[in-house]
Structure 1
Amino acid sequence: MTLTNKQKMIAGELYDAGDPELVADVMAAAKWMDRYNARIGAERDELLGLLREGLGAVGDGVIIRPPFHIDYGYNITVGEGVFLNYGCVILDVCAVTIGAKTQIGPGVQILTADHPRDPAVRAQMLEFGRPIVIGANVWIGGAALLLPGITVGDDAIIGAGSVVTRDVPAGATVVGNPARVR
């Protein structure tokens, strides 16, 4: 059985992001972002309802302050009581899971999207993704950058401006570029 580009994308295999089905999904996410980001002054319940329309799964008590930017939305799972501050970006070409009670500062980028290292393959405009898992009760400082394939353990802290290139153990504090355990 041949997989569609959408199935390949979600599975973390090479896919063509220009596939019409994926372009339509990106456009649907863009229309959702227009609605969500225009509601910056809305009540929490209204924003939570919009989040549940645009994301894969959203727990109770989630707050994501607009503006908020996504690729697709349906690959994002957000646990109960999660908080994302202004200007966060999640490129969700495959699964992004954010555990309960996690707090994420402004301008954080969570990027599952990746590109082939082989220039000949990259020239074919193929992409792939690697999932990101963020545990429960994690604190991620403003402007941190989480690269594809990262797992962050429960109760970890990521310092502001850090570039996370490797997994972060549970309870660890990491800082810097690249982020290292402190």
Structure 2
Amino acid sequence: MFGGRIDETATVHAKARIWWPAHLVMEDYASMGPGVICYNVASITIHAFASVSQRAHLCTGTHDVQDSAFPLVARPIVISANAWVAAEAFVGPGVTLGEGAVLGARGVAARSLKPWTIYVGNPAKPIRDRRPEAAASHALAS
């Protein structure tokens, strides 16, 4: 695991690409699907029962465009418990998905997402609340 802290119940698909394993934390029953790009120059934490679906991109690095040297700026990403990053979505540096939050397919999160809220689009905008009991029933079925 090259320094990554991956719970034995977590799932990382073989085709996921993890840039720096030592900067990855995955709690119980967290999952990372096929083709996920995990560009973790800063830490990425995926909490219990959270899912990152196929070809999503978690990107902790950016650059300071105001500096002529264009230095790398790295900020951590947190995917809270029961949250879901859907297919081909992008999560940018410094973003936290609150507990139970959903970032819909191909959505772009450049700012943190509130708990138990469903977001879609680019930039991601909230469209409705998510019921916590929906995630609880999924966790019980796992």
- TM-score bracket relative to the smaller structure: 0.7 to 0.9
Distance in 2 (CA, whole Å) between partners of 1:113 and 1:73 is 15
Question: Runs ≥4 in structure 1, deviation > 6 angstroms?
Answer: none
Between Structure 1 and Structure 2, whose CA radius of gyration is higher?
1
- Of 93, 104, 108 in structure 1, the residue corresponding to residue 52 of structure 2 is 104
**Deviation digits for residues 96-151 of structure 1, max 9, x if unmatched?**
111101112100100001111125121xxx31201111100111110000010101
Shift of residue 71 of structure 1?
A: 1.8
Contact 1:157 1:174 in 2 (8 A): yes
Shift of residue 60 of structure 1?
A: 2.5
* Aligned length, in residue pairs: 127
1:75 alignment partner in structure 2: 23
Distance in 1 (CA, whole Å) between partners of 2:48 and 2:2 is 19
The answer for unaligned runs of 5 or more in structure 2 is 128-142
**Deviation digits for residues 141-173 of structure 1, max 9, x if unmatched?**
100000101011111111000011111011011
Q: 1:82-121 residue pairs with structure 2 within 5 A?
A: 82-121=30-69
Q: 1:26-175 residue pairs with structure 2 within 5 A?
A: 53-122=1-70, 126-175=71-120
Identity %: 25
2:131 alignment partner in structure 1: none
Shift of residue 85 of structure 1?
A: 1.3
Q: 1:10-29 residue pairs with structure 2 within 5 A?
A: none
Aligned residue identity for 2:33? N
Distance in 2 (CA, whole Å) between partners of 1:69 and 1:54 is 13
Aligned residue identity for 1:135? S
Q: If the length of structure 1 is used for normalisation, what is the TM-score?
A: 0.67
Contact 1:108 1:144 in 2 (8 A): yes
Contact 1:55 1:77 in 2 (8 A): no
Q: If the length of structure 2 is used for normalisation, what is the TM-score?
A: 0.85
Distance in 1 (CA, whole Å) between partners of 2:3 and 2:93 is 19
- Higher share in helix: 1
Q: Using the TM superposition, name which of 111-120 and 86-95 deviates more.
A: 111-120
Distance in 2 (CA, whole Å) between partners of 1:140 and 1:61 is 19
Shift of residue 55 of structure 1?
A: 4.6
Aligned residue identity for 1:144? A
